[in-house]
Chains A and B, each alone.
Chain A
């Protein structure tokens, strides 16, 4: 059980990101030996920054780290590992083409030669102690996300780590895997490992021994779960009460088919079919939520619809018009708006100005150009200023470079841009991923308003809460297949969770 031996402590950790963000400001955090400590906060609260400082990936501008009461100088992950600290990142850092054993042996620099037998027997020993079973001869790419996570934890234990940091460990797991994961944490704790895990989910935080809440770079409080209720925690996280979207107004959905996908087969980047015979339809004003753990073909499905990925087999119709394998621009011009998954990487050009990013989908339209050659920026300004007001984009002037905008503002800009063009269908890929609560709310509200206006929405999200909140119909995607479509009223979280994990359900 937990005792009061503090194993790790930070004093006044401050990290500044130019131009004006304190990712961490004078943070005094402590971790007790053998406890499970949840680090709770919204995206952008500074949780990951603090953990990366502990792991030596970032150097703080001010402040010190103490381990067992002694000042620790952690300048690199190598230093951190020598202090027996290990961090498992949200995006795993494994070599896909190597086996589990090879990945675990990799990067342990204390010896040059690692005899495979020796490594294997040690891994097996650890696997037994902690009940962390994986096929050690499998290549990483053959493993499920949950298994990969277990490999990451095995790596940490193999290195002899005593302090384990996990960055949003549950965000990639199905509900079943999530339960298993918490069992593993218990086992680790019993064997004397101290754990910090980052989360923004309240019920997960409640499963820990202690909770530290961060907000906007500051440590708000460290509390015991049995001494606090969820509402208080929310208030600490957000700083104010926010009215969440609850129900949506009843509205009638017409029978007009806006999107019709028939037996769609699409190759993924690895050359295997990422989408395998998906069939579904979407009516005018309807929101179809596609649930599923990321990497089950959702991204490829969206890309195929907008023509960014070739379709091997099957057909797609938009309002009876066949758009299969048509050029992307042709599909957009037929009324498809697309909110991409990676907003910085594909959604914007960060070196260009806000207005230049705003016109990305419309710059060539006859109404905004002279002789289809000269862009008439003055004609865009009105639309732009209206959008800034309507979506609450905070930007000093239209000619400001996008790279100075926050993630939330960039997402609002993308949304404003996509909706500034005539559209009858919105494809939204993880539209609120990584956004703060207020922006998330704003984005969801906009999507609901759009559907009231008769726009159909294909909502692809890992956030089940979001899917249930917005959708009229819910489908689950697993290994490239649509494994069930439910009316929202008939869907329940448990069944959806099982389907996401690949369980077969009769009658689905």
Chain B
């Protein structure tokens, strides 16, 4: 008997979905072994995750709370990755969005809600976008690799944030904690009563999903993005302005990450502190890939991954498991999905 590996010629959608499901099941199986070692009944643990993330009202709303920033970021990254441009800087773009929004909220608080809230979204969007501008220019004008610059811009953004919250913006009545004062009432995003869901940002995220779907599949810009990402030589040959596409996709992803920053300070924390983002900008990279760089797929991936984060937290409390276990659990799910990606591109056959 021989094992033979062949590249799939046509990657059928149904098979890809099936393979992703098998990947998740394999991950669960592998994790079950770990849970058994820790004297935890894996089935109970899985039920706990599922229940905490999706089956209780509190859990479901918390999943949506995490979904909002993750979805916004991964939608943007999906667009830029489609053009084969590698923005690793969503984290920094989110932070810049949060910083600028904080300035608006703290300094223009005298404006009525219906002016200041749109202004916060707008300035957050522009801040994220601008932060993506620098690497875009470096890439287009000087051919500097955007992976390095966008990543380094994250570190700079983090330091700028720390400068403000430890320095000039530190709340004088905050017992010395590195954080700003609370936002005035009219500079807080509207919240669904009884939850932490800032629904205006949620609506923006859902609208983004729809707009990007139309952009990618129906417009000339979307077509150019696909050509640039599919074969840059062909794009050049066709006379497509490649710099324009790189620039446009970079600022779309930067702006959307900035919006995620607005939601986090304006709708969740109501102030700026160094822990605005638990690495949403990096998680978004993974989600964009898990969702197959397709708007609906990314939305689903963002939702399920948010549930995983919420369920993991709940598991920690309910079963008294250390944080590390949850990290292993989340990590292994990702690992299996990415590893199984191989099978969507290759088929393996046993012969004789």
Q: Interface residues, chain A, CB within 8 Å of chain B?
A: 18-19, 307-308, 327-332, 338, 340, 342, 345-352, 356, 359-361, 363-364, 369, 372-375, 401, 403-404
Asked if B238 and A360 make an inter-chain contact with CB atoms under 8 angstroms apart, the answer reads yes
Chain A proximity mask over B234-248: 1 for CB below 8 Å, otherwise 0: 101111100000000
Chain A proximity mask over B154-190: 1 for CB below 8 Å, otherwise 0: 0000000000000000000000000000000000000
Q: How far is the CB of B301 from chain A (nearest CB, A)?
A: 21
Please name the residue on chain A nearest to B222 by beta carbon: A375
- Check B41 for interface membership: any CB of A closer than 8 A: no
B residues 93-132 in Cβ contact with A at 8 Å: none
Asked if B9 and A361 make an inter-chain contact with CB atoms under 8 angstroms apart, the answer reads no
Interface residues of B, count at CB 8 A:
21
Q: How far is the CB of A449 from chain B (nearest CB, A)?
A: 24
Please name the residue on chain A nearest to B218 by beta carbon: A374
Q: Is the interface of A mostly helix, strand, loop or mixed?
A: loop
Asked if B220 and A361 make an inter-chain contact with CB atoms under 8 angstroms apart, the answer reads no
Chain A proximity mask over B213-255: 1 for CB below 8 Å, otherwise 0: 0000011110100110011011011111000000000000000
Asked if B230 and A351 make an inter-chain contact with CB atoms under 8 angstroms apart, the answer reads yes
Which chain B residues border A401 with CB–CB below 8 Å?
Answer: 10
Please name the residue on chain B nearest to A20 by beta carbon: B9
Asked if B231 and A349 make an inter-chain contact with CB atoms under 8 angstroms apart, the answer reads yes
Q: How far is the CB of A230 from chain B (nearest CB, A)?
A: 38
Please name the residue on chain A nearest to B221 by beta carbon: A373
Asked if A375 and B10 make an inter-chain contact with CB atoms under 8 angstroms apart, the answer reads no
Q: Which of B218, B223, B233, B237 has the most CB of A within 10 A?
A: B237
Given contacts A356-B223, A360-B234, A363-B223, whether A404 and B10 have CB atoms under 8 Å apart is: yes
Q: How far is the CA of A372 from the CA of B220 in the complex (A)?
A: 8
- Check B15 for interface membership: any CB of A closer than 8 A: no
Chain A proximity mask over B1-24: 1 for CB below 8 Å, otherwise 0: 000001111100000000000000
Please name the residue on chain A nearest to B9 by beta carbon: A19
Given contacts A327-B239, A401-B10, whether A352 and B233 have CB atoms under 8 Å apart is: no
What are 11 residue pairs bridging A and B, where the CB atoms are less than 8 Å apart in the complex?
Answer: A18-B6, A327-B239, A328-B238, A332-B239, A348-B231, A348-B234, A360-B227, A363-B220, A369-B220, A375-B223, A401-B10
Q: How far is the CA of A359 from the CA of B223 in the complex (A)?
A: 10
Contact of B220 among A307, A351, A375, A403 (CB under 8 A): A375
Asked if B218 and A350 make an inter-chain contact with CB atoms under 8 angstroms apart, the answer reads no
Asked if A308 and B230 make an inter-chain contact with CB atoms under 8 angstroms apart, the answer reads no
Asked if B220 and A346 make an inter-chain contact with CB atoms under 8 angstroms apart, the answer reads no
Asked if B219 and A308 make an inter-chain contact with CB atoms under 8 angstroms apart, the answer reads no
Asked if B237 and A346 make an inter-chain contact with CB atoms under 8 angstroms apart, the answer reads yes
Q: How far is the CA of A87 from the CA of B231 in the complex (A)?
A: 31
Please name the residue on chain B nearest to A333 by beta carbon: B239
Which chain B residues border A19 with CB–CB below 8 Å?
Answer: 9-10
Q: Which of B6, B7, B220, B226 has the most CB of A within 10 A?
A: B220
Given contacts A364-B220, A369-B220, A374-B219, whether A347 and B9 have CB atoms under 8 Å apart is: no
Q: How far is the CB of A371 from chain B (nearest CB, A)?
A: 10
Q: How far is the CA of A361 from the CA of B223 in the complex (A)?
A: 12
Please name the residue on chain B nearest to A401 by beta carbon: B10
Which chain A residues border B230 with CB–CB below 8 Å?
Answer: 349-352
Q: Interface residues, chain B, CB within 8 Å of chain A?
A: 6-10, 218-221, 223, 226-227, 230-231, 233-234, 236-240
Given contacts A375-B218, A375-B219, whether A349 and B226 have CB atoms under 8 Å apart is: yes
Q: How far is the CB of A426 from chain B (nearest CB, A)?
A: 15
Which chain A residues border B233 with CB–CB below 8 Å?
Answer: 342, 345-346
Asked if B10 and A346 make an inter-chain contact with CB atoms under 8 angstroms apart, the answer reads no
Given contacts A356-B223, A363-B220, A372-B220, whether A346 and B234 have CB atoms under 8 Å apart is: yes
Which chain A residues border B231 with CB–CB below 8 Å?
Answer: 345-346, 348-350
Which chain B residues border A329 with CB–CB below 8 Å?
Answer: 238-240
Q: How far is the CA of A351 from the CA of B9 in the complex (A)?
A: 11
Contact of B9 among A18, A307, A327, A372 (CB under 8 A): A18
Given contacts A347-B234, A352-B227, whether A404 and B9 have CB atoms under 8 Å apart is: yes
Q: How far is the CB of A32 from chain B (nearest CB, A)?
A: 33
Please name the residue on chain B nearest to A332 by beta carbon: B239
Contact of A308 among B221, B223, B237 (CB under 8 A): B237
Q: How far is the CB of B134 from chain A (nearest CB, A)?
A: 26
CB-based closest 5 A-B pairs: A329-B239, A328-B239, A349-B230, A346-B233, A349-B231
Q: Which of A349, A360, A369, A372 has the most CB of B within 10 A?
A: A349
Q: How far is the CB of B236 from chain A (nearest CB, A)?
A: 7
Asked if A308 and B9 make an inter-chain contact with CB atoms under 8 angstroms apart, the answer reads no
Please name the residue on chain A nearest to B217 by beta carbon: A375
Which chain B residues border A364 with CB–CB below 8 Å?
Answer: 220
Which chain A residues border B227 with CB–CB below 8 Å?
Answer: 349, 352, 360
Q: How far is the CB of B352 from chain A (nearest CB, A)?
A: 11
Please name the residue on chain B nearest to A373 by beta carbon: B219
Which chain A residues border B221 with CB–CB below 8 Å?
Answer: 373
Q: How far is the CA of A307 from the CA of B238 in the complex (A)?
A: 11
Q: How far is the CA of A250 from the CA of B195 in the complex (A)?
A: 83
Q: How far is the CB of A82 from chain B (nearest CB, A)?
A: 25
Given contacts A363-B223, A375-B218, whether A403 and B234 have CB atoms under 8 Å apart is: no
Please name the residue on chain A nearest to B215 by beta carbon: A373
Q: How far is the CB of B205 from chain A (nearest CB, A)?
A: 23
Which chain A residues border B7 with CB–CB below 8 Å?
Answer: 18
Which chain B residues border A307 with CB–CB below 8 Å?
Answer: 239
Asked if B220 and A308 make an inter-chain contact with CB atoms under 8 angstroms apart, the answer reads no
Q: How far is the CA of A140 from the CA of B91 in the complex (A)?
A: 48
Asked if A361 and B238 make an inter-chain contact with CB atoms under 8 angstroms apart, the answer reads yes
Which chain B residues border A350 with CB–CB below 8 Å?
Answer: 230-231
Q: How far is the CB of A373 from chain B (nearest CB, A)?
A: 5
Given contacts A345-B233, A348-B234, whether A403 and B223 have CB atoms under 8 Å apart is: no
Which chain B residues border A327 with CB–CB below 8 Å?
Answer: 239
Q: How far is the CB of B81 from chain A (nearest CB, A)?
A: 14
Q: How far is the CA of A327 from the CA of B244 in the complex (A)?
A: 14
Which chain A residues border B223 with CB–CB below 8 Å?
Answer: 356, 359, 363, 375
Which chain A residues border B226 with CB–CB below 8 Å?
Answer: 349, 352, 356
Please name the residue on chain A nearest to B11 by beta carbon: A401
Please name the residue on chain B nearest to A357 by beta carbon: B234
Q: How far is the CA of A369 from the CA of B224 in the complex (A)?
A: 14
Q: How far is the CA of A330 from the CA of B240 in the complex (A)?
A: 11
Q: Which of B7, B233, B236 has the most CB of A within 10 A?
A: B233
Which chain B residues border A345 with CB–CB below 8 Å?
Answer: 231, 233
Q: How far is the CA of A351 from the CA of B233 in the complex (A)?
A: 14
Q: How far is the CA of A352 from the CA of B234 in the complex (A)?
A: 12
Which chain B residues border A330 with CB–CB below 8 Å?
Answer: 239
Given contacts A349-B230, A401-B10, 9 further A-B contacts (CB under 8 A): A328-B238, A346-B231, A347-B234, A347-B237, A348-B231, A352-B230, A356-B223, A356-B226, A360-B227
Please name the residue on chain A nearest to B8 by beta carbon: A18
Q: How far is the CB of A287 from chain B (nearest CB, A)?
A: 23
Q: Which of B9, B219, B223, B238 has the most CB of A within 10 A?
A: B238
Q: How far is the CB of B94 from chain A (nearest CB, A)?
A: 29
Q: How far is the CA of A342 from the CA of B230 in the complex (A)?
A: 16
Q: How far is the CA of A397 from the CA of B239 in the complex (A)?
A: 27
Q: How far is the CA of A364 from the CA of B224 in the complex (A)?
A: 10
Asked if A338 and B10 make an inter-chain contact with CB atoms under 8 angstroms apart, the answer reads no
Q: How far is the CA of A369 from the CA of B231 in the complex (A)?
A: 23
Asked if B234 and A308 make an inter-chain contact with CB atoms under 8 angstroms apart, the answer reads no
Which chain A residues border B236 with CB–CB below 8 Å?
Answer: 308, 328, 346
Q: How far is the CA of A413 from the CA of B330 in the complex (A)?
A: 46
Which chain A residues border B238 with CB–CB below 8 Å?
Answer: 328-329, 360-361
Asked if B9 and A403 make an inter-chain contact with CB atoms under 8 angstroms apart, the answer reads yes
Which chain A residues border B240 with CB–CB below 8 Å?
Answer: 329
Q: How far is the CB of B338 from chain A (nearest CB, A)?
A: 20
Which chain B residues border A375 with CB–CB below 8 Å?
Answer: 218-220, 223
Which chain B residues border A349 with CB–CB below 8 Å?
Answer: 226-227, 230-231, 234
